[in-house]
Amino acid sequence: MALLSILNYPDKRLHKIAKPVEAVDDRIRKLVADMGETMYAAPGVGLAATQVDVHERVIVIDVSETHDQLMAFINPVILWSSDERKINEEGCLSVPGIYDSVERAERVRVRALNEKAETFEIDCDGLLAVCIQHEMDHLMGRVFVEYLSPLKQTRIKTKMKKLAHAM
Ligand code: K1U
Ligand code: ZN
């Protein structure tokens, strides 16, 4: 396995739209393993391939308390979203140190492939629902700060650029 480097906002590559995975093969299984290792090391509870500059529809998530329940979502689609919406505090490994409130569907049903290329469906609520919507946004080139006010976005961009120059 290998640790991958995570793109930092406002890197333009975070706005690329990911393409569907054509075949769930050893290359994709290695990507999933490397993304899992990178996510646990960060540490985070989710990671989209876009964030490691791979523009294919792959997500890893582990919202378990024991950090040993890695889930891979390959070519995920949201089949259903609840009308009920909820405001949650979000963070992002591509926007370190920034946390803010975002409103999303409270529950979603997702269909995806696992690492064995098997189709599965899962009903998500709580942190899993928040995380899967956040990660699917990444696959569409959207970063959570884009839900915030233009003023906040400008402040965050300035802060991130200063951080990048200090490193
Ligand atoms: O996409 C990402 O950058 C990962 C992100 C997922 C996420 C978390 C919370 C709400 C929405 C999306 C993170 O993992 S941020 C880090 C974080 O939340 C966390 C870190 C350590 C332990 C627990 C949570
Ligand atoms: Zn993120």
- Per the DSSP assignment, residues forming a β-bridge with 89 are 101
Residue 140: predicted pLDDT:
98
Could you tell which of 11, 71, 87, 92 is best to mutate to test the pocket of ligand 1, judged by most ligand atoms within 8 Å of the CB?
92
Residue nearest (by alpha carbon) to ligand 1 atom 14: 44
- Over the stretch 66-98, which tens digit does the pLDDT of each residue have? 999 999 999 999 999 999 999 999 999 999 999
pLDDT surpassing 90 at residue 166? no
- Catalytic site positions: 135
> Residue 79 Cα, ligand 2 centroid: separation in angstroms?
21
The answer to whether the beta carbons of residues 157 and 10 sit under 8 Å apart is yes
Q: How large is the average pLDDT for residues 151-156?
A: 96
Residue 17: predicted pLDDT:
98
Could you tell which of 35, 45, 104, 143 is best to mutate to test the pocket of ligand 1, judged by most ligand atoms within 8 Å of the CB?
45
Q: How confident is the model at residue 46 (pLDDT cuts 50, 70, 90)?
A: very high
Backbone angle region of 31, left / alpha / beta, with phi > 0 → left and psi within -120 to 50 → alpha:
alpha
Copy the structure tokens of residue 1.
Answer: 């396995």
Residue 49: predicted pLDDT:
99
Q: How confident is the model at residue 18 (pLDDT cuts 50, 70, 90)?
A: very high
Residue nearest (by alpha carbon) to ligand 1 atom 4: 46
Cα–Cα distances in angstroms (integers) from residue 135 to residues 46, 70, 120, 124, 125, in the given order: 7, 14, 18, 13, 15
pLDDT surpassing 90 at residue 165? no
Type of residue at 116: K
pTM equals 0.97
Angle value at C-alpha 44, between 75 and 71, nearest 5 degrees: 35
> Residue 92 Cα, ligand 1 centroid: separation in angstroms?
5
> Residue 139 Cα, ligand 2 centroid: separation in angstroms?
10
- Over the stretch 118-134, which tens digit does the pLDDT of each residue have? 999 999 999 999 999 99
pLDDT surpassing 90 at residue 167? no
